[in-house]
Structure 1
Amino acid sequence: MNKPFPPPRMARKQTLRPEFLDAPTEARLARCWRDKGDIAARNRLVAAHQALAMAAASRAGGKGRKLDNDILQHANIGLLKAADRFDPDKGFRFSTYAAWWIRAEIQDYKIQGWSLVRLPNSAPSRKLFHNLKRVETRLVAAGEVPPEHLVDRIATELAVTPEQVVLMQQRLAAPDGSLNRPVGDDGGTTQLQDLIEDPDADVEKEVSACLGSRAFWIKMSTYLDRLSKREQEIIIQIYVSDTPKTLDALGQRFGVSRERIRQIREAALIRLRASFANSAVSIQHVRAGD
């Protein structure tokens, strides 16, 4: 049986190993770049530590994932920044200094790339962004913190305010989405942009003027019935009751945070406005038919 002919050794793909720099050589290259602007010395210093940037990019991309070229590029940017700022006279190695700059550059890229809305880039905000999920998961798994005190405990551990924790939770839980995304799973044509409130339109007044006061409240009662019991009570207590309740008071009543009451209120209002908008469209169609 014939065996396949192996390719010549010289034809096989060869991978160049990065140069190993000892401490004196590393310090000499750094001084040449700092004092003389020797680009060749800077490039040699950076190329010798290219594996450091690649390893950091691989860890940042997640275990088992393909290496992200964008993260790798930012890791290289961090490596170049480290070369520009490294002081060999401090007595420590370049790899120790560069690792911090590479990690910082990757973290900044991940924060700014998370959302179209620019996130705060202060040191506490970066710490909150990168550690929120880990701390929250650990506290929930331990079961030592009641749910209503979880936000306060996270804020204490990460040295931020509870409001900052809630805001970051909202941003991490709701990434950017298209306004053309269909709403519901029933195959309808309603899109998310159709439910966004028009600041120049007052749908409630328009429907009330068309139906009359009594008919308007009949419609309102019908649309409220489509909400959950908790949503109904929150809307009624805030907007209909003779003595409106505050978000804090309703939070204590339902055993949740003030921010959670606000979220429930906003979701209920979106559904009510969508119902009123459909009524306005129906009325316009009837008038057009007349």
Structure 2
Amino acid sequence: MWWIKASIQEYVLKSWSLVKIGTTAVQKKLFFSLGKIKQKISKLYSRAVTEHDFSQIADELGVSKNEVSEMSSRLAGPDLSLNNLVNNSENTSSELIEFLPETRPNQEIKLIGKQDSTKKQNLLSQALKLLNDRELRILTERKLKDSPTTLDVLSIEYNISKERIRQIENAAFEKIKNFMLEHMPKCV
């Protein structure tokens, strides 16, 4: 019987509101005991519970006064439906849900982005074919690798200065950039 009661309480705690109310043991204790203790205080003193009573509740439950205050304000607030009507400035009614921004990506935009990405990759492949073997190798080693090869290593490999490697890299990059800019409007 105890496990069934615990399971029911866990379900109530999780589905009480769309916003999760209690996650720690202290918050769970407050969630299930605060109402009972408030009723007891109300009957004992024949008045509504005030903030002055929070210290007594905190002592009884073994929690801090701030935690009691926070849980009391959370439980006192009404649940709002996203389907509640809101009057906006044009004297028309809208539901609250209409004011929430959409965070999921639009399926059409995703599809267009994927097609656009494929076109750009094809265009880059065509642009790389414009380069000779040395330009392609230097550009690949310097710009298209996760850890680029140093100018020093490439200058030793090609038996030319580091400055000349940098010039070849920049010239190859410019060729590709110009080709992409020239052909980009056609694929968009």
TM bracket (short chain): 0.3 to 0.5
Q: Specify the structure having the higher radius of gyration (Cα).
A: 2
The two structures have a TM-score, normalised by structure 1, of: 0.28
The two structures have a TM-score, normalised by structure 2, of: 0.42
Higher relative contact order (CA 8 A, sep 6+): 2
